[in-house]
Structure 1
């Protein structure tokens, strides 16, 4: 904080000297008196001085720039409402802010090696206590064995608690691994210490626990909170409706021509309906343009299409290779069964090698926490077509799980634009 304050003062005086001819201009001093506290306040709110800012140069530089932008906005707000904006030189103010931003970014880059050498890669003091539980190794942490140091969580022995306190002093985080019968004792020891204490429980990893809850006379482990909050779901739905509705109107002539070609070839139905698994593991009917002969349709999806598949019609071969057969799914988006971007829905009879999809990896069901999509992260990476092996599914599942980890509207738009580059692909048959 002190360094940032000195940078603001020094840069402002330097620009004032170069532009106005003298450093200690009254306007510059007034600007400094406002800018320094405003920046410090914004920096504290934006975690510019957090542990993560110490360990991540990119995070530190980005947050300092954000804090400076907030300080500038507040400075303009104050100057406007106090009718003192004409007292500030716009060139001097903008120039000062530019120089300040450059010096702050440079200073953080120079300080990063010093911080790493003095505070370590994590900038935290972490202690792992092995009291006979599951083996745990934490990088850049101290590890001690209670048997070697003759330590035990004995609440009735003040001298033992004093010895434990010596080990816990100056620790930001303490992790203990112990048998279940000693967890309560360690918990009470931690509660009486001014530290962040944690007790290793193997079931937390197995269940994918996100947190814990207490109330109404019982405790619980939080294992799921859903990937999207209410606001994010509303934004995503508005995007889906606007994009799908606009696309149907724009593509209406193409859709009618394709429907006519399908019907003229064999006088069969235009659409192919198949049950797929969607959000909350619910089944829904997905719409596609029919690309196979009526008598050879595979409603369960047990057999994936191959390159020389005799079931595919001439029109079907073209619309599958160009992904036009997927366009009727825009109706599924309007109905709310699907989204524009999300994990692709699979037929319930689909196989990866000789196994059902959910038999290959138990995490497969996690992809059903969001609505399935017309396109997704796996599709723009070229992970499409038949799943001839378990690895084919594993690669797609990894991409789907990556997509679930932190949704943003910007990333959805990037995936939509990237999809246009893979509409025609060599695995579409």
Structure 2
């Protein structure tokens, strides 16, 4: 409880502020490349649900053309390749488009580890998270669902994973999520652009394995 109330937020402030200072030259280079290769602002700002379903402005490096549909999750796009810029494709694959969220973390709107902030139109996921208490914590730069399938697990499975994280939140669990996130980013695993044709088999197996390790032997219905 002490970790959740005080230590976690202190770590968020410390790590995000140091990261912003250290990576500022790198962030500047990315901003210049985005500006030089496509029309539009460097940052993509989008209202997303935060703690207790309070909307906040989430920052990302712009990875799409300004003509792309607004406020729509990327996995719902019919032809994502028509909307994502060449630079944006690389940024999304490596998750570098998420780096401006360090400022959201510093401001207290997000945490380093937690359920990913939800687009306002993702009503099904918001409701599923409400049932498992995943809306009661700050959303994260990365989270338990991101290291167990990311875009390749379904809505109910994603909410279930987020709910498990909330119940087991601790310094150890956050460290584990952070380390596994680095591995996922380096391998560029779990990134899904455009509409899904069901959950991929290997991630169903991975989810079932994770469920057994956590003491639950069946996928939620």
Alignment of 1:140-179 (within 5 A): none
What SS does the aligned partner of 2:151 have?
Answer: coil
Q: Which runs of 5+ in 1 are unaligned?
A: 1-228, 386-390
Contact between 2:59 and 2:104, CA under 8 Å: does it hold in 1? yes
Compute the RMSD of aligned alpha carbons. Answer: 2.3
Distance 1:246 1:302 in 2: 30
Give the drift of 1:309: 2.5
Kindly indicate whether residue 50 of structure 2 is the aligned counterpart of residue 284 of structure 1: no
Seen in structure 2, the aligned counterparts of structure 1 residues 305 and 334 have a Cα distance that, compared at 3 Å, is farther
Cross-structure match for 1:382: 149
Kindly indicate whether residue 161 of structure 2 is the aligned counterpart of residue 393 of structure 1: no
What SS does the aligned partner of 2:58 have?
Answer: strand
Kindly indicate whether residue 133 of structure 2 is the aligned counterpart of residue 366 of structure 1: yes
Contact between 1:240 and 1:339, CA under 8 Å: does it hold in 2? yes
Contact between 1:278 and 1:337, CA under 8 Å: does it hold in 2? yes
Contact between 1:286 and 1:332, CA under 8 Å: does it hold in 2? yes
Cross-structure match for 1:111: none
Give the drift of 1:395: 1.2
Distance 1:383 1:290 in 2: 20
Kindly indicate whether residue 59 of structure 2 is the aligned counterpart of residue 295 of structure 1: no
Cross-structure match for 2:214: none
Kindly indicate whether residue 125 of structure 2 is the aligned counterpart of residue 357 of structure 1: yes
Q: Which runs of 5+ in 2 are unaligned?
A: 194-221
Distance 2:144 2:54 in 1: 22
Give the drift of 1:304: 2.9
Cross-structure match for 1:153: none
What SS does the aligned partner of 2:82 have?
Answer: coil
Question: C-alpha offsets along residues 178-229 of structure 1, whole Å, 9 cap, x if unaligned?
Answer: xxxxxxxxxxxxxxxxxxxxxxxxxxxxxxxxxxxxxxxxxxxxxxxxxxx4
Distance 2:79 2:114 in 1: 26
Contact between 1:320 and 1:428, CA under 8 Å: does it hold in 2? no
Question: C-alpha offsets along residues 48-93 of structure 1, whole Å, 9 cap, x if unaligned?
Answer: xxxxxxxxxxxxxxxxxxxxxxxxxxxxxxxxxxxxxxxxxxxxxx
Distance 1:342 1:364 in 2: 16
Cross-structure match for 1:234: 6
Alignment of 1:114-133 (within 5 A): none
Residue correspondences, number: 191
What SS does the aligned partner of 2:60 have?
Answer: strand
Give the drift of 1:245: 1.4
Give the drift of 1:298: 1.5
Instruction: With a CA cutoff of 8 Å and minimum separation of 6, indicate the structure with the bigger relative contact order.
Output: 2
Distance 1:330 1:317 in 2: 20
Contact between 1:292 and 1:311, CA under 8 Å: does it hold in 2? yes
Give the drift of 1:364: 4.6
Seen in structure 2, the aligned counterparts of structure 1 residues 257 and 237 have a Cα distance that, compared at 3 Å, is same
What SS does the aligned partner of 1:294 have?
Answer: coil
Seen in structure 2, the aligned counterparts of structure 1 residues 281 and 363 have a Cα distance that, compared at 3 Å, is closer
Contact between 2:129 and 2:159, CA under 8 Å: does it hold in 1? no
Distance 1:358 1:419 in 2: 23
Seen in structure 2, the aligned counterparts of structure 1 residues 257 and 250 have a Cα distance that, compared at 3 Å, is same
What's the TM-score, normalizing by structure 1? 0.42
Alignment of 1:317-332 (within 5 A): 317-332=89-104
Contact between 1:341 and 1:375, CA under 8 Å: does it hold in 2? yes
Residue among 36, 39, 42 paired with 1:270? 42
Alignment of 1:37-76 (within 5 A): none
What SS does the aligned partner of 2:133 have?
Answer: helix
Cross-structure match for 1:416: 178
Greater CA radius of gyration, 1 or 2?
1
Question: C-alpha offsets along residues 95-145 of structure 1, whole Å, 9 cap, x if unaligned?
Answer: xxxxxxxxxxxxxxxxxxxxxxxxxxxxxxxxxxxxxxxxxxxxxxxxxxx
